[in-house]
């Protein structure tokens, strides 16, 4: 009697898989594998397709491992009621948080030509380049003492022009703490990588960068442009964008831009190895009071 009941409780299962393959096995109606097979068929194509389960082969103790999405159909002898298996609906997968749209913040620059007055500019040139007929030749690297007068004149002009520059940049006035400037002009021929000048505690109060350009005439080089990068706001994080504005290093000109903008100084290609055939620049920063 028990053997008869056990026989009636068994189901011949034919698992048909993608690619035309099929696998036959005999299971009892209450065997977990039977429910798993129908659950996989019910959820086919709805996540979980990368998971596998194993089907044991009682004849030789081997196992068949089948990806859940590989099951195309299931046939049973005798037919069974799928409702009796109490299949569980697939839990909806949480949707990934949508990324905030990228917001581009364009960089603002102000470039002023003929920044120093002719007499002031001539004094700067004479500080760097000797006059013809003098005993010295080449250029005179300025010491802090020799460059002090030109630096003082340059920073005075920056302070005079600052209110107009702030208006053009769309900034409100702020309490001025100090202005910094490199004592010796930058004359390297190699380019510089992308930099930001206000991302440390020591430089956090910098508001504006400025660069002043000067060189021999006629222009003895190519290159030396400055790229000021736009910024992008993504998920409340600000970083440098791929887009940028290009600043031409024009003779006796100065450019202002926000310290928060990343920038890059491109390589200078002088017409000759002579040191005088370079693009010289004085770089500085304007700080607000803390």
Render each residue's pLDDT in the chain as its tens digit; 290 residues. Answer: 555 655 667 777 777 777 667 777 777 777 777 677 777 767 766 655 556 667 776 666 666 667 777 777 777 777 777 777 777 776 666 666 666 667 898 999 999 999 999 999 988 888 777 644 344 444 555 555 667 788 899 999 999 999 999 999 999 888 888 888 876 555 566 667 888 887 777 888 899 999 999 998 899 999 999 999 999 988 778 888 999 999 999 999 999 999 999 999 999 999 988 878 888 889 999 998 87
Query: Which residues share a beta bridge with 12?
Result: 26, 77
In 3D, which of 207, 206, 200 has the Cα closest to residue 169? 207
d(CA 185, CA 285): 14
pTM of the complete model: 0.62
Side-chain half-sphere exposure of 257, counting CA atoms within 13 A: 26
In 3D, which of 233, 232, 229 has the Cα closest to residue 107? 229
Q: Is the dihedral of CA 201, 256, 153, 172 positive or negative?
A: negative
Tokens 């703490």 correspond to 177
Tell the burial category of 168 from Cβ atoms under 10 Å away from its Cβ (0-12, 13-18, 19+). middle
């Amino acid at each position: 009697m028990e053997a008869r009941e056990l026989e009636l409780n068994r189901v011949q299962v034919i698992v048909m898989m993608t690619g035309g393959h099929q696998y036959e096995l005999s299971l009892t109606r209450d065997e977990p594998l039977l429910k798993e097979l129908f659950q996989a068929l019910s959820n086919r194509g709805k996540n979980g397709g990368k998971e596998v389960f194993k089907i044991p082969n009682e004849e030789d103790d081997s196992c068949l491992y089948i990806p859940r999405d590989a099951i195309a159909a299931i046939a049973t002898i005798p037919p069974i009621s799928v409702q009796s298996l109490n299949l569980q609906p697939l839990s909806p997968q949480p949707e990934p948080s949508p990324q905030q749209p990228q917001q581009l913040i364009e960089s603002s620059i102000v470039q002023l030509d003929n920044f120093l007055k002719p007499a002031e500019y001539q004094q700067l040139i004479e500080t760097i380049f000797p006059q013809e007929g003098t005993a010295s030749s080449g250029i005179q690297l300025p010491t802090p003492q020799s460059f002090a007068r030109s630096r003082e004149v340059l920073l005075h002009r920056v302070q005079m022009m600052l209110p107009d520059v702030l208006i053009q940049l769309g900034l409100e006035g702020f309490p001025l703490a100090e202005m910094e400037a490199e004592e010796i002009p930058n004359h390297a021929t190699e380019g510089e990588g992308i930099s930001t000048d206000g991302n440390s505690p020591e430089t956090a109060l910098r508001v504006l960068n400025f660069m002043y350009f000067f060189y021999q005439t006629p222009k003895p080089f190519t290159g030396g442009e400055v790229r000021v990068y736009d910024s992008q706001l993504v998920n409340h994080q600000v970083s440098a964008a791929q887009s940028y504005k290009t600043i031409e290093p024009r003779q006796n000109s100065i450019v202002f831009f926000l310290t928060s903008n990343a920038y890059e100084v491109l390589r200078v290609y002088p017409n000759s190895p002579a040191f005088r055939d370079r693009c010289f620049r004085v770089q500085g920063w304007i700080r607000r009071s803390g």
